[in-house]
Amino acid sequence: MLKSLASTVKKLSAFGASIEVDAVPGEADSGDLEDDLPDTFAAVGRAAAAAGKGWTLLIDEVQHLERADLSALIVAQHRMNQVQAPVVFVGAGLPQMARLAGDAKSYAERPFAYPEIGALDPDAACLAIRKPIEDEGASIGAAALNAIAKGTQGYPFHLQAWGSEVWDQAEGPSV
């Protein structure tokens, strides 16, 4: 079935490489992702339920999905909610995600939550930098922590990038 679903995509390309798949007749092989993805989610849900487990699909940068792909995910998750299958889709993206989902499917606001994750306050920003460093047996000075917190304005991605760079540039146990 997954091969059939993959054939609805026909060709997947990323970073200069591509994969093409031939269809296998059966379930989830209509060629329409919005029809096929719910069938695939349902099959995964049945397998998960039989095993006493759940299944979660995590996708970051959801705002970059094509509208048809986002629509298919919304339809699939909506159907899983209706039948109470142990399947959930969790997407992360920029703040415009709620609008994009609503544009893809008008009912997308009902079955999903769109929590906004904003900037961390200065104390939390410092902790986000300091704790991983200390967990590795190293340390970082207060002046450096405050400079990072101020320079990133607590924005999580920038904290992560600065933290990584500071760690990579450190020449000893003191960052």
Give the end of a domain, one of 70, 88, 109.
109
Same domain, yes or no: 68 and 103: yes
Q: Is residue 46 part of a domain?
A: yes
* Domain count across the chain: 2
> Which residue range forms the structural domain that includes residue 161?
122-169
Same domain, yes or no: 103 and 129: no
List the chain residues with pLDDT less than 50.
1-5
Q: Is residue 24 part of a domain?
A: no
Which pLDDT belongs to residue 31? Answer: 73
Same domain, yes or no: 97 and 126: no
CB neighbour burial string for 67-104, b if at least 16 within 10 angstroms, e if fewer? eebbbbbbbbbbbbeeeebbbebebebeeebeebbeeb
Which pLDDT belongs to residue 21? Answer: 52
User: What is the residue type of 175?
Assistant: V
Q: Is residue 114 part of a domain?
A: no
Q: Is residue 81 part of a domain?
A: yes
Residues 106 and 140: their CA atoms lie apart, in Å, by 49
Which pLDDT belongs to residue 172? Answer: 84
Closest CA to 105 of 67, 143, 79: 67
Q: Is residue 93 part of a domain?
A: yes
Same domain, yes or no: 74 and 134: no
Give the end of a domain, one of 87, 109, 131.
109
Give the end of a domain, one of 69, 86, 109.
109
Mind giving me the DSSP string for 124-160? HHHHHHHHHHHHTT-B--HHHHHHHHHHHTT-HHHHH
Same domain, yes or no: 73 and 133: no
Same domain, yes or no: 126 and 103: no
Same domain, yes or no: 97 and 51: yes
CB neighbour burial string for 17-30, b if at least 16 within 10 angstroms, e if fewer? eeeebebeeeebbe
Same domain, yes or no: 47 and 91: yes
Which pLDDT belongs to residue 127? Answer: 98
User: What is the residue type of 74?
Assistant: I
Q: Is residue 37 part of a domain?
A: yes
Same domain, yes or no: 101 and 39: yes
Rounded to two decimals, the pTM is 0.65
Same domain, yes or no: 100 and 141: no
Which pLDDT belongs to residue 17? Answer: 58
Report phi then psi at 11, rounded to 5.
-145, 130
Which pLDDT belongs to residue 1? Answer: 46
Q: Is residue 138 part of a domain?
A: yes
